Structure 1
């Protein structure tokens, strides 16, 4: 079922007895759990209305017993259950033996006074398992995957407006490029920027540049973007800044190679008529990262990208074997690339 529809139902008081949540976007999952807590539990009585378990050390039959047990001093209780192997594709450590039939039986007649939320740590469920099929038939299964490029930008704009500040689309995209595509660190930076801008204040690219620190990966990403647009001076500025931060040149070269490898893969798969979402799924990347890599790749011929990767492989060998000074070697590579 669609997450937006379920969220709307929960806000209207229509709460299912069982939810199965999975996906890589932990921030969205936590937001979903927080909404359920606000609808089901009273903060002053949370000790009586909220229970947390992990199937790595608790058998599933104990979860069922907890759900069937009448709550104490509250009308309904929320049971959060973390899982890797029962529903997901993770390996079972073998320490706990689960009587899955107990849950199967419970699914046919779930208790009205309990809401069970299974939180699967993984990007997909093991569809071969009978218990997965049973929960899909009886419960509500929700997928929390990363937002696409435009969706993520729109989310940033909405979150900033919720906090009473303003931001343009270009600045919102700059924030995503600076912080990355994970919503949790984005939310943290949004809080900081809104506190700086104040009520009704405008957040522009200059403010983001001033207040938001990039990770090494994001710095390399922006550096490659400058190279793709023939802005060699800005690319070198980032390189020298990374050196000041004592980043290892071999690591920087490796991250540059990774970005150019992604560009080549995206370009190749786009020529085979793969959609942006399909490419993201095949490469294990966020759709927004695929979008940006595709835009960068348009500025290079496939043969040029292959040549750059070959040069980087040769540079990596020389740096590791002592054939060239690491900083000088990478600097010369960037100069040749920009030229």
Structure 2
């Protein structure tokens, strides 16, 4: 299956067509979407009056392959299909499987090739080994969908739909600022759709108006470290040195001296990361790379990349290289005792 299209969109099309395979594997880091998909399939296939009999759930290690096969061979009572769900599925971990060896994985792979149409066997897990026979079999005879973080218009549409169910709306610009503020989808970010949903609920409760504003989101959410760094660089690059210094001082406010130094080193690491992103994006754009292709080529979330390009403004490759070199020198100057951490950062802000 070609999965250039996000799993979320593929799954939505499947729901609309009401055509389902006999075996499915849902995996990936975005657990919220995986559970959403399981819930949607349950609503589609299982009659509520016989849910206890037509829907069977196994947790990791609860069942042998023969027990799973027996559950799948049982006919549904009044539901469209019998639904057999295997949570935290370990079948697709290959040699790292803690429960199922090569023989069991091969047995499952063989069964997937002849699944009855009266049953859907649904696996969910965080990660898979795509070299396993079980994974190859489910790709060939069923469907495997990897739920990674969503982005772009898909993400904005997802947020707008969720707000509508709460009786609220938000402009595209406001939603964009929320995504940038929280850092959803950023590399190494631990902020997931579960966190985003909680923040949407908080903002909907906080806002007294039908339309949620950026100030409402700012009141109930915490800015990601990357968002703070973008704001600091944006202020410094645009000549608002006083604002940049205030943003820096706010990060250190109330911290002990040792904690403040640690915070400065973390900030320097983020500064270097963001400046590297700006520099690479500028180099690629000047080399003729099409802007819309950059997120895929660079492996960066579109919102983060757009913010990086906006923050860099009209600065040239040379200017960005100089700023990055200055950021690299910060840690060396501080650790060598040349100057205190807070003073080094203040001088950096004044010079960039």
Displacement of 1:330 in angstroms is 0.9
Cα separation, partners in 2 of 1:150 and 1:9, compared to 1, 3 Å: closer
Displacement of 1:134 in angstroms is 2.2
Structure 1 counterpart SS, 2:315: coil
User: Is residue 186 of structure 1 aligned with residue 196 of structure 2?
Assistant: yes
Structure 1 stretches of 5 or more lacking a match?
Answer: none
User: Is residue 197 of structure 1 aligned with residue 207 of structure 2?
Assistant: yes
1:179-328 to 2 correspondence within 5 Å?
179-181=182-184, 182-198=192-208, 201-244=210-253, 246=255, 248-274=263-289, 279-328=294-343
User: Is residue 140 of structure 1 aligned with residue 146 of structure 2?
Assistant: no
Displacement of 1:139 in angstroms is 0.3
Q: Give the structure-1-normalised TM-score.
A: 0.82
Q: Please tell me the root mean square deviation across aligned C-alpha atoms, in Å.
A: 3.3
CA–CA separation in structure 1 for the residues paired with 2:323 and 2:19: 56
Structure 1 counterpart SS, 2:88: strand
Tell me the residue number matched to 2:156. Answer: 153
User: Is residue 31 of structure 1 aligned with residue 40 of structure 2?
Assistant: no
- Contact 2:180–2:303, Cα closer than 8 Å, also in 1: no
Displacement of 1:251 in angstroms is 0.8
Q: Give the structure-2-normalised TM-score.
A: 0.79
| 1:35-56 Cα shifts (integer Å, max 9, x gaps) | 22333457787665341333xx
- Contact 1:276–1:287, Cα closer than 8 Å, also in 2: no
CA–CA separation in structure 2 for the residues paired with 1:271 and 1:117: 47
Cα separation, partners in 2 of 1:6 and 1:314, compared to 1, 3 Å: closer
| 1:112-168 Cα shifts (integer Å, max 9, x gaps) | 45422233424x862x55443322221022232333334323332332223111212
Cα separation, partners in 2 of 1:45 and 1:329, compared to 1, 3 Å: farther
Displacement of 1:286 in angstroms is 1.8
Structure 2 counterpart SS, 1:255: helix
| 1:36-95 Cα shifts (integer Å, max 9, x gaps) | 2333457787665341333xx5787357435435389885233134357x546x872666
Bigger shift: 264-273 or 307-316? Answer: 264-273
Cα separation, partners in 2 of 1:149 and 1:62, compared to 1, 3 Å: same
CA–CA separation in structure 1 for the residues paired with 2:74 and 2:231: 56
CA–CA separation in structure 2 for the residues paired with 1:83 and 1:277: 36
> How many residues in Structure 1 have an aligned counterpart in Structure 2?
330
Cα separation, partners in 2 of 1:249 and 1:111, compared to 1, 3 Å: same
CA–CA separation in structure 1 for the residues paired with 2:89 and 2:296: 23
